[in-house]
Amino acid sequence: MSTFTPYTYFQCPCTDSSPPVRNIGSDSPTSIHSSSSEDEKAFDPRAPRANYSLYPLEHLLYCEDCHQIRCPRCVLDEIVTYYCPNCLFEVPSSTVKSEGTRCTRSCFQCPICIAPLSVSSLEAPPEGLGAEHASQGGPYVLNCPHCSWSSKEIGIQFDKPNGIFTQLSKIKNGGDPVITARERRKDREERSRDSAPGPVTDEDGVQDETVVKLDPNEVLDAESQFSNLKAFYQAQLAEASPANALGFSGGDYGYGSPGALSRIMGLYTGGTYADKKSKAKKGTMREAQNAFEGLKIVAPNSEDALIAKLQNEGWDATSSSLQRDEQSTHTPFISDLRPIAYLLRTKRSKRCKTCRHILSKPEAKIQTTRFRIRLVALNYIPSISIKPLQPLLSTQLQAPLVPMKPTQFLLTFKNPLFESVKVNIATPAQTPGRFASKITILCPQFEVGANTDAWEEALRDGSKGVEREKRRTKAEASEGQLQAEAGKVWERGRNWVSVVVEVIPASLKPSPDFLKTEAQRKLAEEGGEDDRVREDEDVVEIPVFVRVEWEADTGGEDGGLGKEKEGREKRELAYWCVLGVGRIG
């Protein structure tokens, strides 16, 4: 059995509109006391929806204006900056929009092992007097210090040691220059000028005669094919519907235009005229006819070279699926791989969805990891930690819970606030689910002291330790062997309180037939009530409803608004938690 660490998850109240609720009495087959009406609204940590609302306390934020817990689902993210994780340069969002979400400087990852690549010269470093000041000459390569891959292996070398991204975008694997989209456009314009503005459908013969620098049968790579096709169809659309009154460029292709949107809206509202129009347009379109227009003819023997390469070089020459995932095009062989430009990262600020106040705002400077604003729930609501009451030996630490044997756990509530808080906790009598363990909280109501000054704590630390020791010995002496008393706090410190929870773990064996209720028996007969323990059903998860009450200053926090009602205000916060205490063995 795998190890188990006790955990506490908090439910964010943002899901309260439709809380995952199960009526324990009627739904759980092992429950015998079906009339426990006070449990009917208990939170069910096993409900499929519960997964989306439970978070560890560290993941939660707290809105000071709504006085509510905020989870990642009820905050709005705003991007503060984009930056490259390798060179830590900020990338303006306009550049991100135009150039994409990759670093456009010289930051690359190895296509083989994703280690950061470094630029190095192929020349021997200069030696002799003043060697430190002499600059190294080219050519340069990208070089992986981890797996010693180098861009020389895919036939790529650079003239300059900086601006690798732009240099790389102009070179194909093997060293041939890439014909950029702009060059293609220029070429296209030249051709269309030469071939005269005749009707589009009969340019077959004309084009071959014009002076072109591009081969019409050239084998295009995916990117240039796309740009050619796009240009071709755009030209077609422009010719087919010159400046339509409605603004859409005709056919089915003007997806981005506002006209297209209104046409789609027209479809929904029942207008039929748009349909007719698009049908009428269809006749005027033609397909791409050569490589300039993005036509790629798949020859029957086009894959022979690939197969031959596979036969010659074998498995080792092929790229792994992980390596292919990082590439933008299909790269069956290692020799097709290209250096991966670093993906940019973001710093985000978070706002409350209801009141739009900022909950978390990182410093805009990339080199600093500090936050300007960070309202984490950890500073506002008491944390809960779980510990078995019986001191266990280190070997026993992972010991599973014994079915039907009462086990006691210590819940420690630690108060982060500067005011003392009143805590009420409540649980259903049994855990929800098929295997209902019985739960008893021995002390459901208590007060946790204020989180006073840290200095004060430090100064009192010596005496406090003694005090706590005393309390424990007293408890032990009066109660005998570690016996918890109902209605009393187990242990208390400056800003923390421990209370005892008793759990009687359920037996994982199915209940005998005669104990089952009529409904359960029926359910079992009807179809496949599986008696086996499903995944993680042996974990005892206790839903706990926590209500925290405290008095807070109103004046200071609200600033100008709350000036006149200076004084103390009663605050209340209530939420569900789930305590995972252990596995039933």
Partner 1 sequence: MSSKRASTAPAAPKPPTSLSPTLTIAEHASLVGSYLITLGANTVVHPRAKLNSTYGPITVGSNCIISERSMIGLQGRGADGEGVVIEDGVIVEVGATVESKVIGEGCVIEVNAKVGRGSLLGTHCKIGPLCEVAEDEVLPDYTVLFANGMRRIDNSGVEDLKLKMVARQIDVLRRLIPSNLTKFQ
Residues in contact with partner 1 by CB under 8 A are 112-113, 122, 124-125, 141, 143, 146-150, 152-153, 316, 334
CA distance to 262, 418, 435, 503, 578, per residue, from 46 (Å): 46, 35, 11, 18, 10
Distance CA 345, CA 348 (A): 10
Rg (CA), the chain: 35
331 or 360: whose CB is closer to partner 1?
Answer: 331
Structure tokens at 534: 């499903």
Query: 153 or 457: whose CB is closer to partner 1?
Result: 153
Question: What are 211's two structure tokens?
Answer: 């002076």
Looking at beta carbons only, is 99 or 153 nearer to partner 1? 153
Answer whether 79's CB lies under 8 Å from 346's CB. Answer: yes
To partner 1, the closest distance from the beta carbon of 508 in angstroms equals: 38
Nearest distance from residue 152's CB to partner 1, in Å? Answer: 5
Nearest distance from C-beta of residue 324 to partner 1, angstroms: 15
Neighbours of 187 (CB within 10 A): 15
Q: How far is CA 539 from CA 294, 400, 406, 427, 484, in A?
A: 59, 10, 15, 17, 24
Cα separation, 162 vs 160, in Å, equals: 6
Q: Is residue 119 within a helix (H) or strand (E), and if so which, with residue range?
A: strand 118-121
CB of 364 to partner 1, least distance (A): 36
CA–chain centroid gap for 554, Å, is 37
Min CB(147)–partner 1 separation in Å: 4
Tokens of 136: 């190294």
Complete DSSP assignment for 335-374: GG--PEEPBPEEEEEEEETTT--EEEEE-SSSS---EEEE
Shortest Å distance, C-beta 146 to partner 1: 6
- Please state the φ and ψ torsions of residue 241, each to the nearest 5 degrees: -135, 80
Q: Is the dihedral of CA 338, 344, 345, 351 positive or negative?
A: negative
Nearer to partner 1, 141 or 386 (CB): 141
State the Cα–Cα distance between residues 144 and 161, nearest whole angstrom: 15
CA 245, CA 495: separation in Å to the nearest integer? 73
> Cβ neighbours of residue 74 under 8 Å, at least 6 residues apart?
12, 14, 352, 353, 354
**DSSP letter (8 states) at residue 21:** B
By beta-carbon proximity to partner 1, the closer residue of 301 and 320 is 320
Helix (H, G, I), strand (E, B) or coil at 526: helix
Give the residue with the Cβ less far from partner 1, 151 or 430. Answer: 151
Minimum CB distance to partner 1, residue 144 (Å): 9
Question: Which CB, 152 or 571, lies closer to partner 1?
Answer: 152
Q: How far is the CB of 327 from partner 1 (least distance, A)?
A: 17
SS3 for 162? coil
Tell me how far, at minimum, the Cβ of 362 lies from partner 1, in Å. Answer: 32
Question: What is the smallest separation between the CB atom of 333 and partner 1, expressed in angstroms?
Answer: 13
399: tokens are: 């010991």
Please report how close the Cβ of residue 154 comes to partner 1 at its closest, in angstroms.
10
CB of residue 125 vs partner 1: minimum separation in angstroms? 7
Provide long-range contacts, Cβ within 8 A and 24+ apart, for 271-280. 278/251, 278/252
Residue among 209 and 316 whose Cβ is closer to partner 1: 316
Helix (H, G, I), strand (E, B) or coil at 407: strand
As a whole number of angstroms, the distance between CA 44 and CA 542 comes to 9
- Nearer Cβ to partner 1 (30/150): 150
Quote the tokens at residue 269.
């509202």
> Which one, 75 or 110, has the nearer CB to partner 1?
110
> DSSP 3-state assignment of 578?
strand
| Cβ 127 to partner 1 shortest distance, Å | 8
Based on CB atoms, which residue is closest to partner 1, 147 or 265?
147
The residue among 118 and 166 lying less far from partner 1, judged by its C-beta, is 118
Between 131 and 519, whose beta carbon lies closer to partner 1?
131
CB of 136 to partner 1, least distance (A): 11
CA torsion angle 37 41 46 48 (round to 10): 130
Length of the chain: 585
Cβ atoms of residues 21 and 69 within 8 Å: no
Residue keyed to tokens 């830590």: 88
Nearer to partner 1, 125 or 256 (CB): 125
